[in-house]
Amino acid sequence: MADAVHDLYKEISNLNGLSEGAKALVQFALKIGGGDTEHSAARYVVRPDNFVTFQPHWKRALNLAVTLRGNPCEFELQDGLQLKRSMNGYSSFSLEKIEHLAAAFRYVRRAKEIYDRGSNRIPKTQKTIEL
């Protein structure tokens, strides 16, 4: 699977201005999620925990498609980076601007928290309150 990580980084290097930020996002996901990826159906799945997948797009558009464990209602909107409903129990976003990188990190961290709570969790909306 180490080859899959290498392949993912190689594909991400085609994202020009997004490549370094996208690589950092993948490194973060690997650090909190087990440290390896598996290439499956054009996506790179972080293993052993399947809480995030990455799919670099560079042929027609320059972005990193990210799929996360959890429904959109379980995430707090971050910096205008919209989440869309994906397959059952998952959400997705497309990282197209470096300005959305901080939001992407927070979404990945939240997806790991949701994964750790298990598939029988009661979905809860995330909300930040200033005191």
pLDDT at 23: 96
Is residue 13 pLDDT above 80, yes or no? Answer: yes
Distances in whole angstroms, Cα of residue 88 to Cα of each of 18, 30, 84: 29, 23, 12
Is residue 2 pLDDT above 80, yes or no? Answer: no
Closest C-alpha to 93, from 114, 112, 70, 115: 70
- Stretch 45-49: mean pLDDT, rounded? 89
Could you count the other beta carbons within 10 Å of the beta carbon of residue 128?
6
- Sequence ranges of the domains in the chain: 2-117
pLDDT band at 48 (very low <50, low <70, confident <90, very high): confident
Q: What is the mean pLDDT of the chain?
A: 90
Could you count the other beta carbons within 10 Å of the beta carbon of residue 119?
8
pLDDT at 126: 72
**Contact partners, residue 67, CB within 8 Å, separation at least 6:** 43, 52, 53, 55, 86, 87, 90, 91, 92
pLDDT at 36: 85
Each residue of 9-35: b (16+ CB within 10 Å) or e? Answer: bebbeebeebbebbbebbebbbebbee
pLDDT at 79: 84
Distances in whole angstroms, Cα of residue 82 to Cα of each of 72, 87, 104, 118, 121: 9, 16, 10, 24, 23
The more confident residue out of 60 and 22 is 22
pLDDT band at 131 (very low <50, low <70, confident <90, very high): confident
Domain 2-117 maps to which CATH number in 3.90.1150, 2.60.40, 1.10.3470, 3.90.320?
3.90.1150
The more confident residue out of 20 and 118 is 20
- Stretch 109-120: mean pLDDT, rounded? 91
Give yes or no for a contact between 18 and 95, defined as CB atoms under 8 angstroms apart: yes
